[in-house]
Structure 1
Amino acid sequence: MERGKNLQKELKDNKVVYSYHGVASNALLRKATINDTLNGITSPKATTLISIVEAMEFTMTDFGKEFDSISYDEIKKFMNENS
């Protein structure tokens, strides 16, 4: 949690944008792992996902709420745009 205070982030359009480098550094993971996970290229192991969520200063409860709010249409749109 202490590392999270130093996370590189900025505010764009009233949303917090995290640098992949900052997340990777705080999660103790490779930047490529962060990139592949956040862009839906790979499915992370649970431990990797937890590390990323915590590095971004969120809880797993926060993550679960966001995950549960994703609609089927949003998934379909993402799959069409990234296939």
Structure 2
Amino acid sequence: MNTEETIYKIKIILSLKKLLENGKKLQKEIKGNKIVYSYHGVASSALLRKATINDTLNGHTSPKAVTLISIVEGMGFTMTDFSKEFDHISESEIEIYLNDHK
């Protein structure tokens, strides 16, 4: 995998993790929210295997577009929400991720 692909993969992972964390914060504030912000909950909402969510969020695989959209929507967010997170990932966040996952 070349450097550009690696950076995109990391940005996808970090963006999804930020959405998951944002969802957990929202869940505490909204009563009656049906989405559970855990790997299992997202998998259930997205109609994907928990292993797919796990592999994607832990960087073992890069999701296809359809899988990425399913995960984002399964968390109750839009692709616009995802793209905002993606666009705001800094180089320092990428470096920290790389150092933590050597």
Normalising by the smaller structure, the TM-score range is: 0.7 to 0.9
In structure 2, the residue matched to 1:43 is: 62
Q: List alignment gaps of at least 5 residues for structure 2.
A: 1-32
TM-score scaled by length of structure 2: 0.65
Regions of 4+ moved over 3 Å: none
| Deviations 1:39-68 (CA, angstroms, capped at 9, x unpaired) | 222110000000000000000000000000
Q: Which amino acid aligns with 1:25?
A: S
Q: List alignment gaps of at least 5 residues for structure 1.
A: 9-17
Equivalent-residue separation in structure 1 for 2:34 and 2:60 (angstroms): 27
Q: CA deviation at 1:6?
A: 2.1
Q: Which amino acid aligns with 1:69?
A: H
State the secondary structure of the residue aligned to 2:61: coil
What RMSD over aligned residues (CA atoms) do the two structures have, in Å?
1.0
| Deviations 1:12-45 (CA, angstroms, capped at 9, x unpaired) | xxxxxx1111100111111011011112221100
Q: Percent identity among equivalent residues? A: 71
State the secondary structure of the residue aligned to 1:6: coil
1:27 aligned residue (38, 46, 62): 46
1:6 aligned residue (16, 25, 34): 34
Q: Considering fraction of residues, name the structure with more helix.
A: 2
| RCO higher in structure (CA 8 A, sep ≥6) | 2
The number of residue pairs the alignment matches comes to 70
Q: Which amino acid aligns with 1:82?
A: H
Q: Which amino acid aligns with 2:93?
A: E
Q: CA deviation at 1:72?
A: 1.0
